[in-house]
Amino acid sequence: MLKASVLKHMKYPSHIQRVAEYHVAREQARTQADIPEQRNSPPELVHMEREEHGFLDPIPSPWHPFDGLPDEQSHFDKDGANRGCADESSIYSESSTSDSSSGISDASQISEYDSNNEADDEEWELPRPGPQPSPGVNPAEPAEPDTSGYTHSIMSRSLYNYVKAMFKLFDIKLPDWNTVRREKKALRGLLGMDVHASKSILNIPTYGLSLPKVLAQEVANPIVSPLIDYFPEEAHGRGIYKLSQSKKWLEELDPISRAPMCRVGERDWFLFEPVQITSDEVVIPLFFYREGDVMCAKCVTPDYHFDGFSSNLRLTFPAGLPFGSPQLKSVVVSSFDFDYTEIAGGDGTLLHERCRHSVYELSLDCVTWHHVPNPWRAKENGRIIRHLPISLYSDDTSGNQSKRWNKHISFYFTLSGLPPSMTNQNYNCHYLTTSNQAGAMELAAPIVSELRTMSNEGFPTFDCTIQEEVLLISSVLCFLGDSPMHAEITSTPIPGNALHPCRMCALYSESVKEKATIAYVSRFFMIGPTGSCISAPPRSWGQIKAHCYEVWYMAHKPQRKTAVEDSSSELGVKDILNRTLIDRRYAILAPGKVPTAREKVFVEELEQIFKELPETLFNSFFELDGFDGCQDTPVEILHVFLLGVVKYMVGDFMRSLAPKQKPLVKARYQSFNIDGLNIASMQAEYLTRHFANFIGKDYRIVLQAAPFVLFDYMDDDQLELWGALCTLAPLIFQTHIEDMVEYQLHLIHHIRKFLYFLVRSTAQWVNKPKIHMLLHLMDSVLRFGPPPLYATEKFEGYNSILRNASIHSNRQSPGKDISVIFGDYRNVRQLVSGGYFYDKQSGVYRRASPAVISIFLDNPSVQKSMGYNAETVDVTSAGYPAVRKWKVPTGLKVGIPPELQAHLRGYVLRQVNQISWNSKTVLAAGSFVTYNSGVDSKGTPHLGQISHLWEGRKGGRVVLYLCLSPFAFEGVDTFYNMRKVKRQLEGTFISIVNVRAKLNVQHNCHNGECPITLTRAVRLERQDTTNFSGEVAHSDRENYVVNLASLANTLAHRDFSGIPFESLADRSHLSSLHEGLAKWHASGTRTGPPGPLEAVDPALGT
């Protein structure tokens, strides 16, 4: 009764009006409270937190203007509006986060994937018109909201019923759970995203989504499709930052895996079809690529072989011409004049008739025939062919909330043609299949089959960028995973103690004991007889396949199972699927065992399959065109470097610390300045005590903090080793390669220097194959680009989403349930993103109505729930730079500097707390920035520490200024091997447009001999207690060093520091091998060198 009265009263017009007036009054009061008076704040107040984080007091007036300040007009666009600040109604919000460390660096995706897949705490307005249906494409009716959630936020049935009951109290009726399930099933049928079922060769049912249909949705998605690169880009080794600039895509794809055609204007041009260019020369295009925005082709001039008895002729060209061959010429596609049907001789005879529709590719032992026209011309039927290479990934993850047991093998992928700002988001990570019963090879078989079908026939879909139907083809550009998964995919043994520990080169040892000889150690570290760096012979993908077949044949001969295993070990192959079949066959045919009828049928079917379809009994990737398992499984820096090399080093050092030293290490961690490093917080206790449980992000913190936390407790040998490691790490995590040649030179020198100190400590490191894989990183960089591009952390982060889906399965058919959940998510994602789908009933491509699309486009919270962050994709639309947080803590408030007010005459100045310089960088008091003249942006930068930040307003104009303390550029500190800088006495102020980069700068505690004191109050429940812990008490405020170990903004740190690198002499590398072997021999370990010293290393015996 009471409830009915209340609901009735709420509908009265007078009640509605009073509620509206109340909200308006409350909003006005809140707005006035958010703009406090700040001009009379005493400048002498000191904020206590600044010293805790290494921030120093601002230098007092006078403040001098920087010589490179821009003219006032240069702050604004032509219309006078501020180009950097967001609308005042949004930037005066107090909802911004107060942690300046939440800014994101380009290198932040390697160890913790929650940077680009989540929107910032504040929700800036993103004005953009929703995509409207084009003529001839009918909008669908608004879709029913997915009230039960999707992959990122699944709702259980019990929780849904509870929410339904709550809504019912307010006369809002939600559909029944079964109704929601029926609607989801109907959507899967409407959008064609049904779950595909199949059975593996071991008769295990598997379920997954269709790869062609997932790719088709991406091309039809207006958020994704405009950003896809369908052709490789020729960057000439400059500005490498995405996979479409990779050498493999540009130069090393097989002809069957390349983009077969391109459209320029209204003309379609195909590979291996003769064309006549505007200079009247006839050429044959072999590669299509982009150079900037220009479509180009690598073409060969054919040889003409005339038939003396007729007018026929043969067009030939050399086989296997590489992209860089001098026999190929670069031709702009727009200069193509006539296609093969229009080229005619002087007598009017058409060329394609004289050559009988054939072009021949000649080699010494083979002739390849190409039909003219290209067979794809008939298949595409007037449609553009879209080439979409993918980066495939597989991993095992627990399907339990405890992250233990119930292991699921899963496959995901990203589009290789998308920039990293997109692929690093969960929105663009795509699920394919999973199972807690089938192995990786069984799950991969349907995926490979679909890829082969697409390579041969294509798959039709709608391209929203050109509003046309297109034909899709795809291939695997690279396969990503950890070391065990890479071993399974490449049919090689798990490295560990294997005699063939490397999948990429022919590193081999006849026995485990032979690994402790100078010969093997030299091969392991790729050091030649003179100490120079040598390249090991690469492994052959074809040879691995042949060896796997050889093992199968051997298993059919009358011999023991152990003989087959020994042969497999000697050959360095291990096909998991084939080995499982061999083991099962041996178990059935074991002596003394009577096989059952079902077992007999299994053996008979196995032999029959081998006669008819032998490839189904082996690694399915052997049959994938354009994929080379030895070269296309790049060195993955999360598992090889962070969870390999760095893990070994951290564990080895931390275990060597004396108990009395650990509190000192904790104190230094607590005093470490994390500003500019993309570290959210420093958990000193955890980093000191629980190093054995570190994950990737923890090792990143240690790498950046080690020079200032751990170096003081190292001996000279450890200092050299860790110094080399901390110098190498920023190169490995560099996301943008300005010059590939220079980068390769620096990378190999730094890796060799690190390995020099490592092997000198002991040659026993040869038992860790990940150390050897570090030497192959150069090959991966040359083939694919910067290492973060093929780091697996973004996929590792996606495992939690799969685990969430597994938890909401009834465990009766987990593979199917999880695939259904991801299929439903894809349908919701496609509809709210404005993606097109084919309507079978009407025969046209449709998309959801604007009301449905606005759910996603107009709600950053919905975007965030799907793992999409628009700001990282389109930085220009976010209005940077802009004030991030207005309210200044009391201890940081200062009076307006008279010099700044004089410079900005007529402006109303207001101190602000934080400024978002871009979507990834936040500037606050205490931050160190480099700056120079806005005109001379490439000149030598200056360094300064921000004291306070100011916003100035004059009418409709807004400017942002920084008052900072300049630092002088000094020599190199020999202890840290980093650039020293010294604070200057007079302050200066600069415009935000003068800022070039944000750096991490640390106090030079070693030079200042800063003591550790028990003055840091221990905080519990957000309150200070009477207990105190250690912290570093800085002895001065002038002497600092630029942290060259920073993994954020690595180029800016290295360029500003300008520290020259001196490579070691070749003979030094050779001597380090002998020294390391001697130490290994002296240690007397169980796996140490066999026999006398001279048998291990003849040089040491003498």
Q: Indicate whether 34 pLDDT > 50.
A: no
Spatial separation of the C-alpha atoms in residues 302 and 306, rounded to whole Å = 13
- Return the residue matching tokens 């060597």: 656
Spatial separation of the C-alpha atoms in residues 426 and 608, rounded to whole Å = 44
Predicted confidence (pLDDT) per residue in 363-395, tens digit:
888 899 999 999 999 998 999 999 999 999 999
Spatial separation of the C-alpha atoms in residues 900 and 921, rounded to whole Å = 24
Report the SS3 class of residue 956. Answer: coil
Mean pLDDT of 896-908: 93
Alpha carbon of residue 515 to chain centroid? 35
The band of 687, judged by pLDDT with boundaries at 50, 70 and 90, is very high
Predicted confidence (pLDDT) per residue in 257-287, tens digit:
999 999 998 899 999 999 999 999 999 999 9
- Name the percent of the chain lying above pLDDT 70: 84
Q: What is the pLDDT of residue 1001?
A: 97
Spatial separation of the C-alpha atoms in residues 833 and 830, rounded to whole Å = 5
DSSP-assigned letters across all residues of 912-924: ESEEEEETTEEEE
pLDDT, mean over the chain: 85
Predicted confidence (pLDDT) per residue in 307-321, tens digit:
767 778 899 999 999
Residues found in the chain: 1102
Predicted confidence (pLDDT) per residue in 1000-1021, tens digit:
999 999 999 999 998 888 888 8
Spatial separation of the C-alpha atoms in residues 521 and 534, rounded to whole Å = 13
The band of 1035, judged by pLDDT with boundaries at 50, 70 and 90, is very high
User: DSSP secondary-structure letter at 691?
Assistant: G
Q: Indicate whether 352 pLDDT > 70.
A: yes
Picking from 663, 642, 710, 669, the residue whose alpha carbon sits closest to that of residue 976 is: 710
Q: Indicate whether 920 pLDDT > 60.
A: yes
Q: Indicate whether 149 pLDDT > 70.
A: no
Q: Indicate whether 8 pLDDT > 70.
A: no
The band of 1022, judged by pLDDT with boundaries at 50, 70 and 90, is confident
CA 673, 872, 478, 208 dihedral sign is: positive
| Bridge partners, 966 (sequence order) | 944
Q: Could you give the angle at which helices 1050-1057 and 716-732 cross, rounded to 10 degrees?
A: 120
Q: Which CATH number is 48-104+878-1057's, of 2.30.30.490, 2.130.10.10, 3.40.1360.10, 3.40.50.11030?
A: 2.30.30.490
The band of 129, judged by pLDDT with boundaries at 50, 70 and 90, is very low
Predicted confidence (pLDDT) per residue in 401-452, tens digit:
767 778 889 999 999 999 999 999 999 999 999 999 999 999 999 999 999 9
Q: Are 770 and 483 spatial neighbours (Cβ–Cβ below 8 Å)?
A: yes
* Exposed / middle / buried, residue 567 (Cβ in 10 Å: 0-12, 13-18, 19+): middle
Spatial separation of the C-alpha atoms in residues 1082 and 493, rounded to whole Å = 31
Q: What is the pLDDT of residue 589?
A: 86
Spatial separation of the C-alpha atoms in residues 1077 and 518, rounded to whole Å = 7
Q: Indicate whether 876 pLDDT > 90.
A: no
User: DSSP secondary-structure letter at 350?
Assistant: B
Report the SS3 class of residue 631. Answer: coil
Q: Indicate whether 660 pLDDT > 70.
A: yes
Predicted confidence (pLDDT) per residue in 458-502, tens digit:
999 999 999 999 999 999 999 999 999 999 999 999 998 899 999
Predicted confidence (pLDDT) per residue in 557-587, tens digit:
877 888 888 899 999 999 999 999 999 999 8
Predicted confidence (pLDDT) per residue in 818-829, tens digit:
999 999 999 999
Angle at 396 between CA 392 and CA 399, to 5 degrees: 125
Q: What is the pLDDT of residue 155?
A: 81
Spatial separation of the C-alpha atoms in residues 713 and 1048, rounded to whole Å = 25
Q: Are 230 and 215 spatial neighbours (Cβ–Cβ below 8 Å)?
A: no
Mean pLDDT of 349-375: 90
Q: What is the pLDDT of residue 10?
A: 63
Q: Please, what's the b/e burial string for 784-799 (b: 16 or more CB within 10 A of its CB; e: otherwise)?
A: bbbbbbbbbbbbbbbb
Element (H or E) spanning 857, and its range?
A: helix 850-857
Q: What is the pLDDT of residue 135?
A: 37
The band of 128, judged by pLDDT with boundaries at 50, 70 and 90, is very low
Amino acid identity, position 862: V
| Bridge partners, 883 (sequence order) | 915
Lowest pLDDT segment from 225-234, 557-566, 641-650, 691-700? 557-566
- pTM of the predicted model, to two decimals? 0.85
Q: What is the pLDDT of residue 557?
A: 83
Spatial separation of the C-alpha atoms in residues 73 and 993, rounded to whole Å = 12
DSSP-assigned letters across all residues of 484-507: HHHHHHTT---STT-SS--SSB--
Q: Domain segments of the chain: what residues? A: 2-33, 48-104+878-1057, 196-230+388-483, 238-380, 539-629
Q: Indicate whether 36 pLDDT > 60.
A: no
Q: What is the pLDDT of residue 159?
A: 87
The band of 1097, judged by pLDDT with boundaries at 50, 70 and 90, is low
pLDDT higher at 491 or 919:
491
Q: Indicate whether 877 pLDDT > 90.
A: no
Q: What is the pLDDT of residue 140?
A: 42
**858 phi and psi angles, rounded to 5 deg:** -100, 5
Q: What is the pLDDT of residue 105?
A: 36
Q: What is the pLDDT of residue 560?
A: 80
- Name the percent of the chain lying above pLDDT 90: 63
Mean pLDDT of 533-538: 89
CA 653, 655, 661, 667 dihedral sign is: positive
Spatial separation of the C-alpha atoms in residues 188 and 819, rounded to whole Å = 12
Written in H, E and C, the secondary structure of 513-579 is HHHHCHHHHHHHCCECCCCCECCCCECCHHHHHHHHHHHHHHHCCCCCHHHHHHHHHHHCCCCHHHH
Spatial separation of the C-alpha atoms in residues 516 and 513, rounded to whole Å = 6
DSSP-assigned letters across all residues of 395-409: EEEE-STTS-S-EEE
Q: Please, what's the b/e burial string for 934-970 (b: 16 or more CB within 10 A of its CB; e: otherwise)?
A: beeeeeebbbbbbbbbbbbbeeebbbbbbbbbbbebe
Q: Work out whether strand 390-398 and strand 476-480 pair parallel, antiparallel, or are unpaired.
A: parallel
